[in-house]
Amino acid sequence: MLALALFFGLRGLNPAAPAAPPAPPPEPPALVSAPASPPPVDLAVARQHAANALAYHRGALRQSCYLPAVAGEATPPTISFTFNFTFDPEGVQIARGVVETRDEARQAITQCVLAQLPPLRIPRPGQVVTADLPLSFP
């Protein structure tokens, strides 16, 4: 009897911890869609759009800048430029530089062309695009 009393008495002091129910499996992480990456840009197409935009203005630049500067010359000279355009991801021109061919440079024509040529715009390329484009007169 003593043994039973001790057994039940000691058992009451340190009750066995009930078994914890198994933890539910963790929830799978929510699927978060990554932002859609823009389609790859065809740089050749973007540069062609820039060339077309420059060509659009060539006739007006020839009329207002080149022809008045060479009027009266027996043989009108060839004037060549290389423009460097930079367009932002939206297709807006953000920078423009020009290089004149040394032998064919005419400061008056260059200044006029730079003043008359408006900023170009191309269809949205989705990334920064640069284009080196020639322009020449006559």
Indicate which CATH number applies to the domain containing 131: 3.30.2420
How far from chain centre, in Å, is Cα 30? 31
Tens of each residue's pLDDT in the chain, 138 residues: 656 565 666 555 555 556 666 767 776 665 656 566 656 678 999 999 999 999 999 999 999 999 999 998 889 899 999 999 999 999 999 999 999 877 777 899 999 999 999 999 999 999 999 999 999 998
pLDDT of 9 reads 63
Range of the domain at 52: 43-137
Q: Is residue 68 part of a domain?
A: yes
Q: Two tokens at 54?
A: 């420059």
List beta partners, residue 132. Answer: 84
DSSP state of 136: E
Asked if residue 33 belongs to a domain, the reply is no
Is 66 part of any domain? yes
Decide if 116 is inside a domain: yes
Q: In this predicted structure, what is the pLDDT of residue 105?
A: 78
Q: Is 81 exposed, middle or buried (0-12, 13-18, 19+ CB in 10 A)?
A: buried
Q: What is the pLDDT of residue 33?
A: 61
- Record the tokens describing residue 117, joined without a space: 């040529």
Q: How many domains does the chain have?
A: 1
Please check whether residue 132 is in contact with residue 105, taking contact to mean a CB–CB distance below 8 angstroms: no
Q: CA gyration radius for the chain?
A: 38
SS3 100: strand
Q: Per the confidence metrics, is the pTM higher than 0.75?
A: no
Is 23 part of a structural domain of the chain?
A: no
Question: Domain for residue 127, yes or no?
Answer: yes
Question: What is residue 101's predicted lDDT score, i.e. its pLDDT?
Answer: 79
pLDDT at residue 88 in the model: 96
Measured CA to CA, the distance from residue 12 to residue 65 in angstroms comes to 107
C-alpha torsion angle, residues 20, 26, 27, 32 (rounded to 10): 150
Give the model's pLDDT for residue 2. Answer: 58
